[in-house]
Amino acid sequence: MTSTSVETPRAGLSPLLRLLILTQLAFNIGFFAVLPFLADHLGRAVGMAGWLVGFVLGLRTFSQQGLFVVGGALADRYGIRPVVLAGCALRIGGFGWLGYAERTGAVIGAVLLIGFAAALFSPAVESEVARQAVLHEKAGGHRTRVLALFTVAGQAGAFVGPLLGALLLSVDFRTVCLTGAGIFVLVLAGHAWLLPQRVPGRQQVQLRGGLGTLVRNRGFLALCCAYGAYLLGYNQLYLALPEEVERATGSQSALAWLFALSSLLVVTAQLPVTRWAGSRSALRRSMAAGLLLIGAGFAVVAAARPADWTGVQGLVPSAGFVVLLTLGQMLVAPAARAWVPDLAPEGRLGLYTGALSSVSGLIVLAGSSLTGSLLNAGLPPAVPWLALAAVPLAAIGLLPREEDTGRVSVAPGS
């Protein structure tokens, strides 16, 4: 396995890349079997107020995305295998704890553990996928096609996960959590067997020295802020969207189908969208177009809210939001990941991959609490959605320009 990490165009994806892409699939099946139903569980079963539900969801994102920089730095220092295995073990414990947590303190502890687990394994996997994608590009391939495949695998997991969770929720939320933990038991066992002890060509560097250079990298920090605005918008799938679906239909039963719609779009359209963007857009233009689509998704719901539609008709704006948000994601996520290797010093790709998510995690932590309060503030119904629409639109102006990074003109491949 380790001898074929650097691939040739004829060889296609290496065994290591195939393993990492399948890893993303398994991670998301386990994760999305639980997460879409967490907000409703916290509100109904645990009895949390709306602002506290928003805070806990933001805390989960922060403990994951916000601490990615730690996992990325550890992957640079010790390699990806020990970091991935430790993260899987923590995720198993976190899901098991959440299944039995009945008080606010216990819920917060479980959510923090679940988030930190991903902060270990995800940047390790993502940074190695990005490094392998660059090697693939040097061999004549296209880095963004590799990263698009990675995204497709993740969304395939996000498609299966909510359907599995909805099925298991007919038993109870604890069963959902324990099933998620069981999936990560299988992931842990598989990676203990298949993941190489050391990946050829990946340098191991000291922990010291990387952060100072990172905070002076204007282009990279600008990319982090724009990506954070995208992630805040994406996080509304778990906060604003469930509330809107329940308002329109009286329950959240349609939520699983909207998540399935999003994932199915990515699985079927991500590669064609990447191919189309690669023939027309640089990375900056791809991200700008994606952020514009995300803003338009929020605007669709804002425009429809005064009409106060209900039933199937009331789900139409939510479906429009999901479609536009997903199309935006298909442009933003691969472009951002493809951009990071051009901005990261040699040997620090894990740190920079982690920092991309850490900065965005801080944005989501602050933004989710504000969003939770905004949704429950008794404002005119369109106002929260208009405020959310403004965030990705404003982020377009934050994207790095050519003077901030010397390789902005690298275009997504096909």
Which segments of 188-302 are extended strands (E)? none
Distance CA(47)–CA(40), nearest Å, equals 10
Tell me how crowded residue 4 is: count the other CB atoms within 10 A of its CB: 14
Place of tokens 């989501």: 364
More confident residue, 159 or 303: 303
Please list, in sequence order, all residues whose beta carbon lies within 8 angstroms of the beta carbon of residue 195, skipping any fewer than 6 positions away: 19, 80, 81, 84, 85
Q: Quote the pTM value.
A: 0.73
Mean pLDDT of 66-80: 84
**Residues 101-126: tens digit of each pLDDT:** 888 888 889 989 998 898 898 888 88
Please indicate whether residue 121 or residue 12 has the higher confidence score (pLDDT): 121
Q: Is the pLDDT of residue 6 over 70?
A: no
Alpha-carbon gap, residue 142 to 396, rounded angstroms: 25
pLDDT level of residue 15 (50, 70, 90 thresholds): confident
The residue ranking higher by pLDDT, 227 or 77, is 227
